[in-house]
Amino acid sequence: MPITTPAAGSLMAAEIAEQPDVWRRLLAETRAADSDLARAADLIARYRPRFVQFVARGTSDHAALYGKYVAEIGLQLPCGLVSPSTMTAYGARPDLAGVLMIGVSQSGGSPDLVRSLEVARECGALTIAVTNKADSPLALAAAAHVDVRAGVERAVAATKSYTAQLLTLHLLFDRVRGGSGAAAAALPGLGEQLLAADDRVALLAQRYRFATRLVTTGRGYSYPTAREAALKLMETSYLSAQAFSGADLLHGPLAMIEPQVPVLAVVADGVGGEAMGHVLPRLAEQGADVFCVGSAAAVERASVGVALPAGASEELSPLLEILPFQQLAQHLAIARGGNPDAPRGLRKVTETL
């Protein structure tokens, strides 16, 4: 029989559509008192960290940035993002007593992340790995591992593993602070409702078919969404995409905004969305074409956009916010003649030292 080649973008599309089921599985399998997530949360609670550090690369780095917001706001702990080279290339051996270091990685195979956790453990930190592979080197290097349960990811551009990481970090910290994870129960249904707008996003993608550069922006919990949206467009459509917090955008970069530079803005309900209220009028003054994902009121103020369904807290909104941007990246890549399942020059596991 002849070998059938999958249509361009079919793998990415399937994995985008799979996300609500991934969330259901994750919610069900981490509910037990003896789950890997429960054990990790118990370790953290007993350790009582004074500081939290995250180490990650690429898409997982954006999940780690989300985790930073959750831990700083929900646990009231100072947090930071590790520069792995300080320990792997420069040989730094900081005093990490009382520090919780969390390594976030889809594959768990990046040598610099593995070495960072090894060094952190040697230097006194409690180390937790959050990966999609329980037998990965990163998982084995940590004191405890939490499986994001995304399943095999075949497209090069990460989609379902990203939102599974977000949900895992939310559930982990929610458990540490005594929560039950109940706030996330509505997410799968809301995700399915949002993904049903795929045809509309495909049509909107044609609007940016000839764009050469763009800007993404958001604030608070939504800032990681802006960064991940930029990465997805860069790696699938080969666009020059720059991500800024809404605050940073107004401190200089606004000057480069013009009608030929589309802006993808995340303006969800909540404190972060309210903070973006000062940004949208300034973008309008620059004549920007704004694609907004967020509240219905914010979308009405933009050029075009996708309104988020009501029902998710501001902390959980990023799991929904990224879905239209994933769809946009997939459809835009195809419209530009590419294949988002196999971006040129990229591999599923990137090895950095």
Same domain, 166 and 17: yes
pLDDT at 5: 64
User: Is a pLDDT exceeding 80 seen at residue 6?
Assistant: no
pLDDT at 343: 80
Same domain, 214 and 180: no
Q: How far is CA 321 from CA 8, 44, 191, 292, in A?
A: 24, 29, 9, 10
Same domain, 124 and 177: yes
Helix (H, G, I), strand (E, B) or coil at 132: coil
Residue 269 lies in a domain: yes
pLDDT at 95: 96
Cα angle: 221, vertex 139, 179; to 5 degrees? 45
Q: How confident is the model at residue 329 (pLDDT cuts 50, 70, 90)?
A: very high
Which of 315, 312, 341, 348 is CA-nearest to residue 20?
Answer: 312
- pLDDT tens figures, 53-81: 999 999 999 999 999 999 999 999 999 99
Query: Contact 291/262 with Cβ under 8 angstroms?
Result: yes
The structure's pTM equals 0.95
Q: Directed axis angle between helix 36-47 and helix 160-176, to 10°? A: 50
- pLDDT tens figures, 253-277: 999 999 999 999 999 999 999 999 9
d(C-alpha 277, C-alpha 134), whole Å: 42
pLDDT at 130: 98
* CATH number of the structural domain spanning residue 154: 3.40.50.10490
Residue 288 lies in a domain: yes
Same domain, 167 and 34: yes
Same domain, 264 and 178: no
Residue 343 lies in a domain: no
Q: Buried b vs exposed e over 320-339: b needs ≥16 C-beta within 10 Å?
A: bbbbbbbbbbbbbbbbbebb
Same domain, 56 and 200: no
User: Is a pLDDT exceeding 80 seen at residue 346?
Assistant: no
- pLDDT tens figures, 73-114: 999 999 999 999 999 999 999 999 999 999 999 999 999 999
Same domain, 113 and 202: no
Residue 329 lies in a domain: yes
Residue 349 lies in a domain: no
DSSP string, 215-242: EEEE-GGGHHHHHHHHHHHHHHH--EEE
pLDDT at 8: 87
Cα angle: 181, vertex 35, 312; to 5 degrees? 20
User: Is a pLDDT exceeding 70 seen at residue 237?
Assistant: yes
User: Is a pLDDT exceeding 80 seen at residue 352?
Assistant: no
Residues with Cβ within 8 Å of 18's Cβ and at least 6 positions away in sequence, in order, are 151, 160
Residue 27 lies in a domain: yes
Query: Contact 253/215 with Cβ under 8 angstroms?
Result: yes
Residue 351 lies in a domain: no
Same domain, 155 and 245: no
Same domain, 136 and 212: no
- pLDDT tens figures, 135-155: 999 999 999 999 999 999 999
Q: Where in 132-272 does DSSP place strands (E)?
A: 144-147, 213-218, 240-245, 263-267
Same domain, 114 and 191: no
| Total domain count, the chain | 2
pLDDT at 291: 97
Same domain, 171 and 191: no
pLDDT at 219: 97
How many Å from the N-terminal Cα to the C-terminal Cα in the chain?
43
- pLDDT tens figures, 286-302: 999 999 999 999 999 99
Q: Among 140, 165, 184, give the residue marking a domain's end.
A: 184
Q: Across-strand partners of 214?
A: 241
Residue 3 lies in a domain: no
Same domain, 205 and 121: no
Parent domain of 264: 187-335
Other Cβ atoms closer than 10 A to 3: 4
Backbone angles phi, psi at 285, to 5 degrees: -60, -30
Q: Across-strand partners of 242?
A: 215
Q: Among 161, 184, 207, give the residue marking a domain's end.
A: 184
Query: Contact 45/176 with Cβ under 8 angstroms?
Result: yes
What burial class does residue 94 get, using C-beta atoms within 10 Å of its C-beta: 0-12 exposed, 13-18 middle, 19+ buried? middle
pLDDT at 353: 54
- Mean residue pLDDT of the chain comes to 94
Q: Among 184, 209, 241, give the residue marking a domain's end.
A: 184
